[in-house]
Amino acid sequence: MGDDTRALGMLQAMAKMQDEHNTQVHPQWREQGYEYYRAIWVECAEMLDHYGWKWWKKQDPDLDQVKLELVDIWHFALSELMRADTLTDDVATQLSTVASANSDAEGFRHAIEELAESSLRTKSFELAPFVQAMAALPLPYDELFDLYIGKNILNRFRQDHGYKSGEYQKLWQGREDNEHLIEVLDKLSCSPEELPTKLYAELAERYPD
């Protein structure tokens, strides 16, 4: 399988999972007018808090959580692209240009601000600032894909356990569910096809009854 074909297959797999999740939240999600752009800029602010930006105190970046925040943004971005019918093959091509590189701390902060500014200005999603943020962190496409699968399954797990009704418990044994997700992903050794089922089962085993 060529690189372009593989990159496109990854994008199509994520789009399918995002559509399934959005449908779980609301069967007619495309017609509801949800402000995905607003979710994007709020996530940008949360990501900067995890990364650190305060000059008056020592802060160490929590890169696991920073990456998950960027993946959260990708959930909303995918939703906006699908709703606007602009999820083209070129999206996969642009995402696949991001490779592992040295982190650029101030460059990453500026990239996040540009992503937030873009979402507020357009009230939509522009791919270029997102790709720029991926490159500045860096978060290569393969890692974005793996973390997307993980977070999508966690989102599905949350919905199944009362996230929308307020019954869901986000803290398990004193830690947020995102932290458990990262730990489980690091521990699991399985094929991409097996990952969703095994990850869901591991989360269910940890979740408090």
pLDDT digits (tens, 9 = 90+) for 117-163: 999 999 999 999 999 999 999 999 999 998 999 998 998 899 899 89
User: What are the start-end ranges of the H helices in the chain?
Assistant: 3-25, 36-51, 63-83, 89-95, 105-122, 127-136, 141-160, 177-187, 195-206
> What is the dihedral sign for C-alpha 61, 67, 68, 73?
positive
Q: How far apart are CA 190 and CA 129, in angstroms?
A: 33
pLDDT digits (tens, 9 = 90+) for 32-66: 999 999 999 999 999 999 999 999 999 898 998 89
Class for domain 3-206, per CATH? Answer: mainly alpha
The DSSP call for residue 30 is: G
Question: In the chain, where are the structural domains located?
Answer: 3-206
Give the pTM.
0.87
Q: How far apart are CA 140 and CA 152, in angstroms?
A: 18
Answer yes or no: are the C-beta atoms of 195 and 188 closer than 8 Å: yes
Q: How far apart are CA 168 and CA 208, in angstroms?
A: 10
